[in-house]
Structure 1
Amino acid sequence: MNDSIRLYDYHVWANKRVFNHLKELPKEIYQEQVKSVFSSLEQVIIHLFKTDVVWLCAMSDKSYEEIQQLVGEYSSRMENKSLEEMETEYMEFSSQYFDFLSSQEDLNANKTLKHPMYGQLETSLSELVKHVVNHGTYHRGNITAMLRQLGYPGPSTDYIFYLYEKQDSQ
């Protein structure tokens, strides 16, 4: 498996572990208000999803305006969704990521991104995948901190556990 696809597979695996963990806890904590970086676990999950949308669109050469429109559409679709519904949406969306990444001839090829505030960036798809995964790791940490604040343990989503699990399933 290509390193970038493996990294994205880890991202999906870790998010799935978060979904599974949250489903084991009392349902009401998903929307419970917390004094933290986000106001609720629900808001972190929505943010993670919308950010994944942004970066797949950017990798797919969509314009800033197109990306903003799509994020707006996804935001509307995510309103008042249950944890289980968000998980279904996320897993369906992640298959689009895998399809996109698998269809690329060279994930290390040069990629130019244009942003109205930050300007132009010369990078590669593999670097963007690293960003998506790093961003997800950061916010899964927020989820764990918020869960601890609510009196619950967080899920274990370290990359090494992903590697062990993948090794055991081969």
Structure 2
Amino acid sequence: MNVGKTMYGYHEWAIQSMLGHLSGLPKDVLNNEVKSSYPSIAKTLSHILAVDTMWIHILERVEFQQALQDAMSQLPLTDAYTIEEFKSAFKNVATEYQSFLNENSDLTVTLDVNNSWSGSRETTFEEILLHVSNHGTYHLGNITTMLRQQNETSLMMDYSLFWYEDTTVTS
């Protein structure tokens, strides 16, 4: 099993599961303001999308600062997305990741990431995929709390549930 690839698969599954769940809830849930790390579910999804976009560009060898700037410049547009627009955007970025994974079977390849807050560091493709998954999981947990604050049902997205839903996961 390739852990990075599997964890990215989990991330993709969890995002799509949450978007599917949100599409069955009242439309105002997406933009209602709540007290959390971001003021709404839409802005949280927008942030996850921006970070996913930034990291795929870094994996494709775009410099960190440029990838960050390009991804963050989309926030004013994506902050206002509907659930359907989020579904499409996340599907598009997932397609980019799948293309990358199909072309790069060796995830131990390293690249230098010069993060403006933390400095320069060599990291592997696999570590980046693990970060993308972990980052998404963190913020999907925020969305679960936001849903509960709005008296809406949340969604179970544990990795162990993914084991049973994704038949491609093997030991």
TM-score greater than 0.5 by the shorter chain: yes
TM superposition score normalised by structure 2: 0.91
Give the alignment of 1:70-149 within 5 angstroms. 70-149=70-149
CA displacement at 1:77 relative to structure 2:
3.8
1:66 deviates by 2.1
Deviation at 1:159, TM superposition (A): 0.7
* 1:29 maps onto 2:40 in alignment: no
TM-score by length of 1: 0.91
Contact 1:55 1:128 in 2 (8 A): yes
Shift of 1:72: 4.1
CA contact (8 A) 2:54 2:67 kept: yes
**SS of aligned partner of 1:167:** coil
Between the aligned partners of 2:73 and 2:116, the Cα distance in structure 1 is 21
Structure 2: runs of 5+ lacking an equivalent: none
How many residues get paired? 170
- For residues 69 and 33 of structure 1, the distance between their equivalents in structure 2, rounded to whole angstroms, comes to 26
Moved more, 37-46 or 73-82: 73-82
Contact 2:42 2:80 in 1 (8 A): no
Partners of 2:77 and 2:127 lie apart in 1 by 29
CA contact (8 A) 1:5 1:98 kept: no
> Aligned Cα RMSD in Å?
2.0
| Structure 1: tracts of 5 or more residues without a match | none
Q: Output the CA distance in 2 between the equivalents of 1:160 and 1:97.
A: 22
Identity score, percent: 30
Equivalents in 1 of 2:79, 2:36: separation in Å? 21
Whole-angstrom CA distance in 1 between matches of 2:27 and 2:122? 44
Runs of 4+ in 1 over 2 A off after TM superposition: 72-77, 167-170
Instruction: Please tell me whether the aligned partners of residues 110 and 124 of structure 1 are also in contact (alpha carbons under 8 angstroms).
Output: yes
- Residue matched to 1:51: 51
| Amino acid paired to 1:140 | L
Give the direction of change, closer, same or farther, for the CA distance of 1:88–1:155 in structure 2 (3 Å limit): same
